[in-house]
Amino acid sequence: MKDEYSDRITSTFTVFPSPKVSDVVVEPYNSVMGLNSLILNADHSMCFDNEALHYIATRRTKTKTVGYEGLNALVAMVTAGITSSLRYYGQLNADLRKLAVNMIPFPRLHFLISGTAPLFADGSMARFMVNHQVSTSVQCLAN
């Protein structure tokens, strides 16, 4: 793909496994084997820790178990925030190339970790005054 589209930026959103969340034996092997492809082929990678996602989701919903729907909603919220400059007008980081130039000091150090605030429990977003564009983005990516 890099050969045919060398002028395009390749961005990945990667979730790294945790032994506390899943007991699938091959998850760590898959992530280690896939890291080489991420290093060589991706221009920047947004990384998520599965254990941290699970911890945040259980604290956010105040339950002991959270399914994939809750974890996906959390990742969708962060992804909507990261990519909002691509959908809406802004001066800083208006495209993926500018984001890469501003955030990545060396080509092999392209693994980024994101943070977002505030975190809302499902359905509680209506209680707060949120920009209409941001709430629309979160709802579109969550579905």
Supply the DSSP symbol for 127: G
Q: Tell me how long the chain is.
A: 143
- Quick check: helix, strand or coil at residue 45? strand
> What is the chain's percent helix, strand, coil content, to nearest 5?
50, 10, 40
Confidence of residue 16 (pLDDT cuts 50, 70, 90): very high
Question: In the structure encoding, which two tokens stand for residue 8, read together?
Answer: 């395009």
Domains of the chain: which residue ranges?
A: 11-142
Nearest to 15 by CA among 74, 89, 91, 66: 74
Task: For residues 14-33, give the mean pLDDT.
Answer: 88
pLDDT tens per residue across span 133-143: 555 655 666 65
Q: Which fold has domain 11-142?
A: Rossmann fold (3.40.50)
Question: In the structure encoding, which two tokens stand for residue 61, read together?
Answer: 């919903």
pLDDT tens per residue across span 43-88: 999 999 999 988 888 887 778 888 888 888 888 888 888 888 888 8
Q: Letter for the amino acid at 73?
A: A
Average pLDDT, rounded, for the chain:
81
pLDDT of amino acid 36: 92
